[in-house]
């Protein structure tokens, strides 16, 4: 925020709060959220699953809005939020559609987990792409700018100008 990067500050603080809230929810003996909802539903986890699925849907919406803010940046950055958004959606759906044994849907959970793993890789890729430049690295990783982005347009104009010369 101090450097003027409102997007970065918003995203990092929001997802930091997300992970803190996940820890608060799932720490055994902590806040007792899961136990309280199961007790309210006669020992069934379905009330917790519905509540947690709604919670994740709110994060799906937030991530979608953040993803829309990356449309003018790079393909790598947009891909990160797209993959994370779909991962959150699949994990939320796994809670909305539990199995007959009252467990989250394993197939949806695994698919969401794999996409979350891919999202983690993309996050590290974007982090490295953001810090590795000609001043501190022997190579710069490609990020591919969208053609409608400012850098994409200027690259097209340079290419057109060099072709005309």
Neighbouring-strand partners of residue 74: 145
Which H, E and C letters describe 66-88, residue by residue? HHHCCCCCEHHHHHHHHHHHHHH
Q: Work out the percent of the chain whose per-residue pLDDT is above 90.
A: 70
Least confident of 55-59, 66-70, 147-151, 154-158: 154-158
Residues 54 and 92: their CA atoms lie apart, in Å, by 7
What are the pLDDT digits (tens) for 63-92?
999 999 999 999 999 999 999 999 999 999
- Mean model confidence pLDDT for the chain: 91
**Residue 127 is encoded by which pair of tokens?**
């982090």
Helix (H, G, I), strand (E, B) or coil at 5: coil
């Amino acid at each position: 925020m101090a450097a003027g990067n409102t997007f970065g500050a918003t995203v990092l603080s929001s997802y930091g709060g997300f992970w803190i809230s996940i820890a608060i929810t799932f720490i055994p003996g902590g806040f007792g959220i899961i136990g309280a909802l199961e007790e309210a539903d006669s020992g069934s986890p379905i009330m917790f699953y519905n509540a947690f699925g709604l919670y994740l849907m709110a994060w799906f919406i937030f991530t979608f809005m953040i993803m829309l803010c990356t449309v003018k940046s790079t393909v790598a950055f947009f891909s990160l939020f797209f993959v994370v958004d779909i991962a959150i959606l699949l994990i939320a759906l796994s809670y909305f559609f539990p199995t007959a044994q009252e467990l989250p849907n394993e197939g949806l959970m695994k698919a969401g987990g794999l996409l979350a793993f891919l999202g983690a890789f993309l996050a590290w890729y974007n982090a490295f792409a953001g810090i590795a430049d000609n001043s501190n690295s022997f190579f710069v990783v490609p990020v591919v700018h969208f053609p409608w982005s400012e850098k994409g347009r200027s690259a097209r104009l340079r290419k057109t100008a060099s072709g005309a010369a």
